[in-house]
């Protein structure tokens, strides 16, 4: 799928998989919600050519760590919601290291551990917000991992 196919007329593949796209005035997909959708790991490879995507909701999905390979090259991504994507673990966080604009990451209900949180130390946009939890109640000393 080409970038034009993703951002052009449609997002048809997004709605076909139960997602809801939001487009800019110029037709670029800027937000996608797959909340509770039956999206698969391989489906998320189709978002890689969406440079204007700034918000992605993958909460309550059954995706695994490899699904986030398609997310790692999204330069505008600022918000990623993985709340209760229960099969997301430490391996997924390594795919997020290149997201220099990521400001909000929700991880509650995932299997991410303190060790995995260390992968995010390079993301100063998240580290600067240490006062505000990353919505992950199960991780104990993750702030030390990012320091």
Q: What pLDDT shows up at residue 128?
A: 53
**What is the dotted CATH code of the domain comprising 3-146?**
3.80.10.10
Q: What pLDDT shows up at residue 116?
A: 83
Q: What pLDDT shows up at residue 121?
A: 80
Q: What pLDDT shows up at residue 36?
A: 97
Beta bridge partners of 31: 22, 55
Q: Domain map of the chain by residue range?
A: 3-146
Cα 68 to Cα 117: distance, rounded to the nearest angstrom: 15
Cα 29 to Cα 23: distance, rounded to the nearest angstrom: 4
Please give the full DSSP string across 63-97, using - where no structure is assigned: --GGGGGGTTT-TT--EEE-TT-TT--HHHHHTTT
Q: What pLDDT shows up at residue 24?
A: 95
Q: What pLDDT shows up at residue 123?
A: 83
pTM given for the model? 0.81
Q: What pLDDT shows up at residue 144?
A: 52
Q: What pLDDT shows up at residue 8?
A: 41
pLDDT < 70 stretches in the chain: 1-11, 127-147
Q: What pLDDT shows up at residue 137?
A: 41
- The full 3-state SS of 6-38, as one line of letters, equals HHCCCCHHHHHCCCEEEECCCCCEEEEECCCCC
């Amino acid at each position: 799928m080409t970038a034009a196919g993703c951002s052009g007329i449609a997002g048809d593949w997004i709605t076909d998989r139960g997602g809801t796209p939001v487009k800019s005035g110029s037709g670029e997909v800027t937000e996608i919600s797959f909340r509770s959708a039956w999206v698969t790991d391989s489906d998320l490879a189709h978002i890689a050519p969406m440079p204007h995507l700034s918000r992605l909701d993958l909460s309550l999905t059954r995706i695994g760590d490899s699904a986030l390979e398609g997310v790692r090259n999204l330069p505008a991504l600022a918000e990623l919601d993985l709340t209760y994507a229960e099969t997301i673990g430490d391996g997924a966080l390594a795919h997020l290291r290149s997201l220099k604009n990521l400001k909000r990451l929700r991880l509650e209900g995932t299997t991410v551990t303190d060790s995995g949180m260390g992968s995010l130390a390079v993301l100063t946009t998240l580290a600067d917000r240490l006062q505000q939890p990353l919505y992950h109640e199960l991780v104990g000393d993750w702030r030390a991992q990012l320091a």
